[in-house]
Amino acid sequence: MKKTLLYVVPVMLCLSACAPRIGSNDYDYSSVRQASNGFPCTVVSVRQVNVNSDDNSAGTILGGVAGGAAGSTIGHGSSSHVLGAIGGAAAGMLVGNLAQDAMMSQSGYEYVVRTDSGQIYSVTQGTDTLLAAGQRCMLINGATSRVIPYY
* Whether residues 4 and 69 fall in one domain: yes
* Whether residues 96 and 116 fall in one domain: no
pTM for this structure?
0.56
* Whether residues 71 and 133 fall in one domain: no
- Chain centroid to Cα 26, Å, comes to 13
* Whether residues 117 and 83 fall in one domain: no
Residues 5 and 70: beta-carbon distance below 8 Å: no
* Whether residues 48 and 112 fall in one domain: yes
The domain tally of the chain equals: 2
Task: Give the residue numbers spanning the domain of 66.
Answer: 1-21+53-104
Per-residue pLDDT at 6: 56
| Mean pLDDT, all residues of the chain | 75
Q: Residues 9-68: pLDDT tens digits?
A: 555 555 455 556 666 666 666 667 677 899 999 999 999 988 776 655 656 667 766 766
